[in-house]
Amino acid sequence: MAIPRNQSSIFVDLMWREVKAVVAKDLKMELRQRHSIGGVLLYIIASVFVAYLGFKQVTNVATWNALFWIIALFASFNAAARSFSAETEGRKLYLFSLASAEAVVVGKMLYNAILLLIMVFLGFAIYILMLGSTPLLDANWGALILSLVLGATGLSFTLTLVSALAAQTDNNLGMMAVLGLPVILPLILLIIRFSKNALDGIAWSVNGVYAWQIVAVTILSLGLSYILFPYLWRE
Amino acid sequence: MSISWWKWLSALVVLTTLIVGLKTPLSPGIPNVNPTKLDYGATSVTVTGYNTHFQKASESLQIWVKNGDAIFCPYETAIVDENTMRASFSITEVLEGAFFDLYVNNDIDGTLFLPQAFLQNGMEVGLKPDKTEKCLDRISVIEAETYDFPNQPILNETIRNILVHVPSWFAMILVMLVSLIYSIKYLNNSKLEFDTRAETAAHAGLLFAFIGLATGSFWARFTWGAWWVSDPRLNGAALGVLVYLAYFVLKSSVSDREKSARLAAVYNIFAFTMMILFIMVLPRMTDSLHPGVGGNPAFSQYDLDDNLRLVFYPAVAGWMGLALWIAQLRYRMIILRLRRKTRNE
């Protein structure tokens, strides 16, 4: 009975190598065409600036928190929307020969997560600079940083499949919003709740439930994407 | 040929439950008292009954208020008409709680009860009540001989809505589930027939979702006081509608038949999971006004009343059957339309 175990480990190994190849390919593409990653960053900065002009300083914790996550949400839509629509037919064919569909979607998810993590942390820093840091006074920093990490990962994981769907229609960005917003709502509500509690300095024993729920939703969307994406990929 | 008996049966059941639901009288109750505060000293209140027989049963009519374990009787009562009476209380004692429950008892209506009918005003609330009166000679227990629906405080006549609102959501969930199953089937073997079936089931589901939203909105207006309250269950329902609207937008935005079917099937599975997550799971984590959520009773509240259950369960089954029938009719319509189109070409 050693063979199946061996086979499965080979499978995981192969899968991992393919995932790494997809992520590496996307990273290389990104570094070559800096305008696209710069575009997302500029989007965040511009949104924060608009929020700053509209609000000046926000001292209300709930508003501060919700506003940040709304900006992060739209930034994540923007970032995720490019993950498939940027691929030309030739590059799709290259990806197809490079890796299995499962590896492609997992790779794209990981890549999106890395991208969004950078964006969210940068955005958070700019947000604090512009809209004030008074809501952070009582913050539980560990939980707050965890909320940023979980939030960025969850958003990008869930939106990757939506992006793959939207990329196959004619109106990519519009479809992204129409399809994505209803799907993302449970997750974004959980994230907002979790980080609000983190800002209020509520103990982990109470707030930890939300972290686990965010993890559960993220894993669920990972699993669903893993199963469903191959049907979108075969063409 | 008559395998379609369930369609006629469910249509008949829906019609019957609607008629019975609207025609059945409500059992006697006390929807209203005025004023809603009992002052220190003497207070005279007007008690408004509904479907009650104050005059007919005037000889056995008794009224009292209860605060904690203490019972207070009126020093004077007057019956205005069948549904209106006045009672004057004189209360100067130390109370146990801030609220008084109201009881009215007579031989025809039985014991009627309005919880937290009055708030105390200017009285002393302490640990020990001073006195308890005994104003009951006997409690008349009435065997229900007429068929009626329970008269719940706040709900009152709107309780009939349970026969439309709740079954429409059950029916929606059922056809959405059917749609999901056909989407999975489509991904398995790419037969366009399954895609059409999934689409038509989702269509029927959307119809019932709108019925559920509309009836729910009316119900909220007359019980909670607003057409829409920010409540996890309500927002979840709105989200469900959004998901399926997005499904149709996706379907119509891709012109290639095969491709649109594949995309829609994938989205259907993904979105259905998220919607169930939102409607079923998340609201239980937070407080909600809606029955069945956040510690509010769902159907157990009506368990006492078999009269309502007798209509409610068939109504649920009937609405589900009707939803399946509508989905099937729509499917046939689309197939016929397609056939005509190919014949013309």
Domain boundaries, chain B: 29-121, 156-344
User: Which residues in B51-171 belong to E strands, given as ranges?
Assistant: 62-67, 70-72, 76-81, 84-91, 99-106, 110-121
Cis upstream peptide for B74 (omega within 30°) = no
Q: Say how far apart CA B193 and CA B240 lie, in whole Å.
A: 25
For an interface test with A, which of B231, B266, B273 has the most A Cβ atoms less than 10 Å from its Cβ? B266
Q: Which residues contact B94 (CB under 8 A, 6 or more apart)?
A: B123, B124, B125, B126, B128, B129, B130
B238 to chain A nearest CA, in Å?
A: 9
pLDDT at position B295 is 42
Q: Does A170 touch chain B (CB under 8 A)?
A: yes
A161 vs B266: CB contact, 8 Å cut-off? yes
B272 to chain A nearest CA, in Å?
A: 9
pLDDT at position A5 is 55
CB contacts of A228 in chain B (<8 Å) are 187, 266, 269-270
Two tokens, residue B210: 């709108």
A48 pLDDT band, cuts 50/70/90, is: very high
Angle at B176 between CA B297 and CA A161, to 5 degrees: 110
Residue B105 pairs in a beta bridge with: B62, B111
Contact A115, A37 (CB under 8 A): yes
CB contacts of B195 in chain A (<8 Å) are none
Contact B319, B167 (CB under 8 A): yes
A189 vs B282: CB contact, 8 Å cut-off? yes
Looking at chain A, which residue has its C-alpha nearest residue B183? A228
B285 vs A217: CB contact, 8 Å cut-off? no
Q: What is the pLDDT of residues B144-188, one digit of tens each?
A: 567 777 777 777 778 888 888 889 988 998 999 999 999 999 999
Looking at chain A, which residue has its C-alpha nearest residue B237? A182
Q: Does A190 touch chain B (CB under 8 A)?
A: yes
Q: Say how far apart CA A177 and CA A77 lie, in whole Å.
A: 7
Region A47-69 average pLDDT: 90
Q: Does B209 touch chain A (CB under 8 A)?
A: no
Q: Say how far apart CA A82 and CA A176 lie, in whole Å.
A: 10
CB contacts of A185 in chain B (<8 Å) are 239, 274, 278
Q: Does B250 touch chain A (CB under 8 A)?
A: yes
Q: Say how far apart CA B310 and CA B214 lie, in whole Å.
A: 24
Contact B294, B286 (CB under 8 A): yes
Closest by CA position to B10, among listed B171, B160, B149, B165: B171
Domain boundaries, chain A: 18-233
For residue B128, give Cα distances in angstroms to A52, B81, B94, B132. Answer: 59, 38, 7, 11
Interface confidence, given as ipTM, is: 0.83
Alpha helices for A135-234 (secondary structure H):
141-167, 172-199, 204-233
Contact A102, A230 (CB under 8 A): yes
A195 pLDDT band, cuts 50/70/90, is: very high
Q: Say how far apart CA B214 and CA B217 lie, in whole Å.
A: 5
What is the domain class of B29-121 according to CATH?
Answer: mainly beta
Contact B227, B220 (CB under 8 A): yes
How would you classify the pairing of strands B110-121 and B37-39?
parallel
pLDDT at position B342 is 87
Two tokens, residue B74: 């009126």
Q: Does A24 touch chain B (CB under 8 A)?
A: no
Two tokens, residue B9: 């049966």
Q: Does A178 touch chain B (CB under 8 A)?
A: yes
A168 vs B254: CB contact, 8 Å cut-off? yes
pLDDT at A40 over 80: yes
Task: State which residues of chain B have pLDDT below 70.
Answer: 1-2, 127-145, 280-305
Q: Say how far apart CA A229 and CA B73 lie, in whole Å.
A: 73
Contact B192, B261 (CB under 8 A): yes
How many interchain CB pairs under 8 A, A with B? Answer: 72
Portion of chain A with pLDDT greater than 90, in percent: 32
B125 to chain A nearest CA, in Å?
A: 35
pLDDT at position A84 is 79
Region A20-39 average pLDDT: 79
Q: Say how far apart CA B294 and CA B47 lie, in whole Å.
A: 33
Q: What is the pLDDT of residues A74-124, one digit of tens each?
A: 999 988 888 777 677 777 777 777 778 888 888 889 999 998 999 999 999
CB contacts of B269 in chain A (<8 Å) are 224, 228
For an interface test with A, which of B234, B248, B270 has the most A Cβ atoms less than 10 Å from its Cβ? B270
